[in-house]
Every structure is written in C-alpha cells, then in structure tokens.
Amino acid sequence: MVRASTAGVLAALTLLASGCAVLRSGEGAEAVSAENLQKDIANRLTEAGQPPKSVTCQGGLGDLPGATTRCDVVLTDTNSIQPVVTLTAANPLTYTVTPAVSAGQLATAVGALLKSSGVDCKTGLEGTSGAAAQCDVAADGVTMTRTVEVTGVQGLLMSYAVLPVLGKQQLDGLLADRLAAETGQRPERADCTGDLQGKVGATVDCAVVRGGNTEQLTLTVAKVDGDVIDFGYGPKA
C-alpha cells in the first residue's frame, strides 16, 4: 500500500440559498411567470439572510405539471447557483426548487477556491448527494482534471468538495520508488496513463519497464484521508 500526499488539499464549497424547498404560487398560470419566480426566490433568499445580487429566470412555468425552468442566482462575485424550478401540481399551482450549478458557475467557484484562473468544468452539478463533475484546473503550468462531488444537500443548501488528486508525474515517481523499495532495483521507467483521483475505488493503469520487460499494472485507491491518498497496485486485468 502506498500512502501519498496529493498535489491539492480536500476543499469544501458551500452554496447558500433558501432553506425552503417547496414554494406555492397564487392562482393562475401568470403566478409562475419568470418575473414572479424571480421575485419569489429573491424574497426567500433575503429572508434566509442571503440577499442575492440578481435573479434571472430563463422562463415561466405555465400550468402543466412537470414543466421546468432554471434561474441564475448571483449571491456573490464567486458564488452563484442555477436552481431548477419544477411545477408539481396545477391546482393549487405548486412548484419545487432544487439546487444546481451550471458549468460556468462551478468553474468560477472552483477557481476562487483553488486560486486558479484557468478552470474549465465539463458539466454543472445537480443537487443530488454523490453527484460529480469533472473540471480541468491549470496551476503552475500544469493542467489536471479534478473531481467535484456533492457531499450534502439540505433544501437549497448544497455542499460539495474538490477531491484530492495525485498528478501523473508525481504518481510515476511514487510507483517507481515503491517498486525500488520492494525489489532493491529501481525500474527504468514507470509511466501511468493519467492522474489518480482521490476517491476510493478510483483506478489508473501504469506501464513499468524492468530489465527490458514491460509490465502492466493497475493502481487502485483504497483510502482517502484529507489530502492523503492510499493506493495499492497489482497486475492489470
């Protein structure tokens, strides 16, 4: 088992919003227009102690159950959300608001947290515990893919963490060191296919050249403790 400190620490992000998840409109389809949704969400955020800088909904809901829309909510310069509003009943008009962030909002939050201006998230995040997104983060001339995972949801309060990661270059060296310690001979080369994400069960394949022979190994994360990743390895299946 190899125990290694990662290139980045475990980082937690929290998006603050209203604690109320179910909102009831007045009568008539106009009651769930974009304008009324914006006012409703802004009022509830203000009552919860988080007055937004702006709320912009993409559209209203009409009166057909199942209809959805998204609203861009700016809380601070680096903290924005894009909750999903869903009409659940027509009489009386009832809708739910669930937390979510767009890819751009997530990139801004991760960039502020990791102090990087070069963050590109492939997708946003839905407010479901365990949901994950991948973000490419550039730092010190190196770009690594970081996993952002939702760790908890309560109403419109969504917390998520940027998981630790072992970069490819660091991983190559750690594997070579481990093999040298076990066999007394350092391999000529250890070449992993990419970074190793700090999540139990995550894997990465590596090629090791020893004595002119190439071995294919698979590294598997066994435990994560803060920014420390424990991983084992074995022959690639």
Q: Is residue 225 part of a domain?
A: yes
Q: Is residue 27 part of a domain?
A: yes
Domain boundary among 80, 98, 116: 98
Report the alpha-carbon distance of residue 139 to residue 118 in Å, rounded: 7
pTM for the full predicted model: 0.72
Q: Would you state the pLDDT for residue 31?
A: 56
Q: Is residue 63 part of a domain?
A: yes
**91-107: per-residue pLDDT in tens?**
777 888 888 999 999 99
Q: Would you state the pLDDT for residue 107?
A: 94
Q: Would you state the pLDDT for residue 4?
A: 52
Parts of the chain with a pLDDT under 70: 1-31, 155-157
DSSP string over the chain: -EEEE-SS--EEEEE---S--EEE--SSGGGGSHHHHHHHHHHHHHHTT---SEEEES---TTSTT-EEEEEEEEETTEEE--EEEEEEETTEEEEEE-EE-HHHHHHHHHHHHT-SEEEESS-EESSTT-EEEEEEEETTEEEEEEEEEEEEETTEEEEEE--EE-HHHHHHHHHHHHHHHHSS--SEEEESS-EESSTT-EEEEEEEETTEEEEEEEEEEEEETTEEEEEEEE--
Domain boundary among 75, 98, 121: 98
Q: Is residue 29 part of a domain?
A: yes
Q: Would you state the pLDDT for residue 219?
A: 97
Q: Would you state the pLDDT for residue 18?
A: 32
Expressed as residue numbers, the domain containing 220 is 2-6+166-235
- Report the number of distinct structural domains present in the chain: 2
Q: Is residue 175 part of a domain?
A: yes
Domain boundary among 82, 98, 114: 98
Q: Is residue 158 part of a domain?
A: no
Q: Is residue 65 part of a domain?
A: yes
Q: Would you state the pLDDT for residue 155?
A: 66
Q: Would you state the pLDDT for residue 50?
A: 81
Q: Is residue 224 part of a domain?
A: yes
